[in-house]
Structure 1
């Protein structure tokens, strides 16, 4: 289920980028592939490049903070598991 939602989000981002890219003289297949494999990061970069800077920067900051939080949780879990306190 978890991977299904991720797959659906990747497909939605890829379709949006493929449809919107030609309007801004960008390569639709390149942006669609990047959007499918890397998700919201290329979408944020694309929005910044096409003049929608505020929403693009907000997206990049939120995704960056989420990834930092996720790495922090994994490191804490690894430390707890290795020390035997978990």
Structure 2
């Protein structure tokens, strides 16, 4: 079941590799970035290729996810410090 987490990055990387040459972009670069960072490069790519609304949606979702993870980790650290663990 561990492979399920790789489906989205692989799908995004494949999309970027296939679509990048159509817009004069380097498919290797966008494929690697898409695999490792997933939604941020996809959003930036979409913005650069003229699909600005979809691109900004992915960028905002990525940023909000990072903020949410940071807040949850901070709350967990504060909670465990308050109970003395």
Sort the TM-score into its range (normalised by shorter chain): over 0.9
- The size of the alignment, in residue pairs, is 85
Cα distance in 2 for partners of 1:5, 1:70 equals 21
Cα distance in 1 for partners of 2:32, 2:43 equals 14
> What do the CA deviations read for 1:15-52 (whole angstroms, capped 9, x no partner)?
00000000000000000000001111100000000000
Structure 1 residues without counterparts, runs of 5 or longer: none
- State the 1:6 CA deviation: 2.5
Aligned alpha-carbon RMSD (Å) = 1.5
TM-score, L = length of structure 2: 0.92
Say if 2:65 is the partner of 1:74.
no
TM-score, L = length of structure 1: 0.91
- State the 1:85 CA deviation: 7.0
> What do the CA deviations read for 1:54-78 (whole angstroms, capped 9, x no partner)?
1100111111111101110110001
Cα distance in 1 for partners of 2:3, 2:73 equals 22
Kindly report which structure 2 residues correspond to 1:44-63, keeping only aligned pairs within 5 A, or say none: 44-63=43-62
| Runs of 4+ deviating beyond 3 Å | none
